[in-house]
């Protein structure tokens, strides 16, 4: 995986953009390239805390890598980060993502169509030493819960053929509203996608927390299309009530069947659309007129209680997508893929926010984003099966290999895989693509 990073210029970008002119501890800011790549390598191997970074020094790892730092040294290095250093590292991460797209099979089809998704999460923390930790709302089993933590904001870039990668990740205090900083994050992600080769349509998607005038106008200004859930205000409710009953179209949801007599679809979910002007309470320059696509799902009556009139739950999507109504609604529902990416991060380096220093945790987040993108780039090389595999699957089958090292001569190492290792062909594909021949390029 680090070979993929080196071939895409990760070390050069860090050396060029991340610089420590002063440091509280004199030697702590020395060699940011080696220390940051050590952190990223540890995350790729499954480290979710600073102590876990010692995994890259275990077994035969010292025979494969030189200049691997102790976890205490890496923790001290992270504590030297300030907000400015975090911005430098984020800049290197964005430039590295562009290189990954240009020199690999990451984000196939980005030149035709790309999706940008945005979402936030609340990572719980404990104790009184975490800078920025405060109480904020999150959902557990669909119910809002007040919890103490820190709140990262994540933007991703994806395509129809490729799994999403992280365009940006920003740490915020736990009590921060979901939409704070979202407009600048979206604009930044759109610029990154354009630089990476997204010459066609870009669709920005998000839930109701981001369906605001500021975020949607940021999409329009940047030349991207948008698809956001709107909170059901009085104006939205009036627009939904204006939809005629014959305008509703059944959609293929679980339980949908065909009527044998008419051939029509019978479903508990239906979709309709109407033109809508949003944000009329603001100045006229911020008004946006687009399509309001409404999905209604039938509320089931309680057991042993008859239904007098059908009751529906309505979900309004505000979009300027040029696609047909059902295709645009399906496009928006695919926004849920960002939840899978967040689950991968939580199952890996974001299981903890390991430092008491806010800027150190912000740098940890950015390293986690780089590690995720490198895992995704490595997974595109061996086989079609790994292109959309979970991060834990990639680590188990391509990174954390129970192999034995043997020496032949002074500098020649042989890696002996277990007999009948089921993923040997996939590993060979990654090794050949990264160590032999020219860098792989997107088809």
Residue 347 class from Cβ within 10 Å (0-12 exposed, 13-18 middle, 19+ buried)?
middle
- pLDDT score of 194: 96
305 Cβ neighbours under 8 A, 6+ residues apart = none
Query: Band of the pLDDT at 441, cuts 50, 70, 90?
Result: very low
The pLDDT mean for the chain works out to: 87
- Which tokens hold the place of 216? 């949607």
- pLDDT score of 175: 92
Q: With 50 as the cut, is the pLDDT of residue 443 above it?
A: no
Query: Band of the pLDDT at 373, cuts 50, 70, 90?
Result: very high
Q: With 50 as the cut, is the pLDDT of residue 397 above it?
A: yes
- pLDDT score of 306: 54
- pLDDT score of 438: 44
| 3-state per-residue secondary structure call for the chain | CHHHHHHCCHHHHHHHHCCCCCCCCCCCCCCHHHHHHHHHHHHHCCCCCCHHHHHHHCCCHHHHCCCCCCHHHHHHHHCCCCHHHHHHHHHHHHHHHHHHHHHCCCCCCCCCEEEEEEEECCEECCCCCCCCCEEEEEEECCEEEEEEEEEEEEEEEECCCCCCEEEEEEEEECCCCCCCCHHHHHHHHHHHHHHCCCCCEEEEEECHHHCCHHHHHHHHHCCCEEEEEECCCHHHHHHHHCCCHHHCEECCCCCCEECCCCCCEECCEEEEEEEEEECCCCCHHHCEEEEEEEEEEEECCCCCCCCCCCEEEEEEEEECCCCCHHHHHHHHHHHHHHHHHHHHHHCCHHHCCCCCCHHHHHHHHHHHHHHHHHHHHHHCCCCHHHCCCCHHHHHHHHHCCCCEEEEECCCEEEEECCCCCCCHHHHHHHHHHHHCCCCCCCC
Mean pLDDT for 23-33 is 84
Q: Cβ(101)–Cβ(442) under 8 Å?
A: yes
- pLDDT score of 307: 53
Phi then psi for residue 105, to 5 deg, are: -95, 20
| 3-state per-residue secondary structure call for 160-175 | CCCCCEEEEEEEEECC
Counting residues of the chain whose pLDDT is more than 90, the rounded percentage is 56
- pLDDT score of 440: 37
CA dist 197 and 106 (Å) reads 12
pLDDT digits (tens, 9 = 90+) for 208-263: 999 999 999 999 999 999 999 999 999 999 999 999 999 998 887 665 556 565 56
CA dist 37 and 55 (Å) reads 14
Mean pLDDT for 9-32 is 88
Taking the alpha carbons at both ends of the chain, their separation in whole angstroms is 21
Cβ atoms within 10 Å, residue 279: 20
Q: Which residue has the higher pLDDT, 303 or 224?
A: 224
pLDDT digits (tens, 9 = 90+) for 398-418: 888 777 777 776 667 777 878
pLDDT digits (tens, 9 = 90+) for 103-150: 877 898 999 999 999 999 999 998 888 999 999 988 877 788 899 999
Closest of 330, 324, 221, 320 to residue 269, by C-alpha: 330
Mean pLDDT for 388-402 is 81
- pLDDT score of 302: 57
Sorted by where each begins, the domain ranges of the chain are 1-104+357-443
Least confident range from 220-224, 300-304, 378-382: namely 300-304
- pLDDT score of 272: 95
- pLDDT score of 442: 33
Q: Whose structure tokens read 């739950």? A: 313
Query: Band of the pLDDT at 53, cuts 50, 70, 90?
Result: very high
- The CA R_g of the chain, rounded to the nearest whole Å, is 24
Query: Band of the pLDDT at 310, cuts 50, 70, 90?
Result: low
């Amino acid at each position: 995986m680090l070979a993929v990073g080196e071939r895409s210029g990760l070390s050069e970008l860090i050396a060029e953009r991340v610089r420590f002119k002063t440091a509280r501890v004199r030697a702590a800011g020395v060699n940011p390239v080696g220390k940051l790549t050590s952190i990223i390598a540890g995350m790729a191997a499954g480290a979710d805390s600073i102590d876990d970074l010692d995994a890259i020094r275990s077994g035969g790892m010292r025979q494969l890598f030189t200049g691997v730092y102790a976890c205490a040294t890496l923790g001290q290095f992270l504590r030297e980060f300030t907000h400015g250093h975090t911005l430098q590292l984020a800049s290197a991460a964005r430039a590295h993502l562009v290189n990954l797209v240009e020199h690999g099979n990451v984000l196939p089809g980005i030149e035709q169509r790309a999706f940008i998704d945005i979402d936030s999460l609340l990572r719980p923390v404990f104790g009184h030493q975490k800078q920025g930790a405060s109480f904020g709302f999150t959902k557990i089993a669909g119910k809002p819960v007040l919890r103490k933590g820190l709140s990262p904001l994540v933007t991703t870039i994806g395509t129809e053929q490729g799994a999403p990668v992280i365009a940006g990740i920003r740490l915020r205090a736990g009590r921060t509203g979901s939409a704070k900083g979202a407009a600048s994050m979206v604009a930044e992600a759109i610029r990154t996608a354009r630089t990476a080769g997204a010459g066609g349509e870009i669709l920005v998607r998000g839930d109701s927390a981001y369906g605001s005038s500021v975020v949607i106008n940021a999409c329009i200004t940047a030349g991207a299309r948008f698809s956001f859930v709107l909170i059901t205000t009085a104006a939205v409710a009036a627009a939904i009530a204006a939809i005629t009953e014959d305008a509703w179209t059944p959609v293929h949801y679980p339980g949908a069947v065909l009527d044998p007599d008419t051939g029509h679809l019978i479903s508990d979910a239906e979709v309709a659309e109407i033109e809508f002007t949003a944000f009329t309470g603001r100045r006229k320059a911020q008004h946006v007129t687009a399509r309001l696509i409404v999905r209604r799902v039938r509320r089931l009556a309680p057991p042993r209680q008859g239904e007098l009139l059908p009751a529906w739950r309505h979900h309004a999507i505000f979009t300027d997508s040029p696609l047909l109504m059902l295709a645009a609604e399906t496009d928006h529902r695919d926004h849920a893929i960002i939840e899978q990416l967040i689950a991968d991060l939580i199952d890996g380096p974001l299981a903890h926010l390991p430092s008491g220093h806010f800027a150190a945790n912000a740098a940890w987040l950015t390293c986690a984003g780089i590690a995720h993108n490198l895992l995704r780039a490595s997974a595109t090389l061996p086989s079609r099966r790994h292109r959309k595999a979970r991060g834990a699957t990639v680590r188990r089958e391509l990174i954390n290999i129970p192999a034995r090292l043997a020496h032949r001569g002074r500098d020649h190492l042989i890696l002996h895989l277990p007999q009948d290792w089921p993923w040997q062909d996939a590993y060979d594909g990654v090794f050949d693509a990264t160590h032999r021949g020219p860098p792989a390029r997107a088809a």
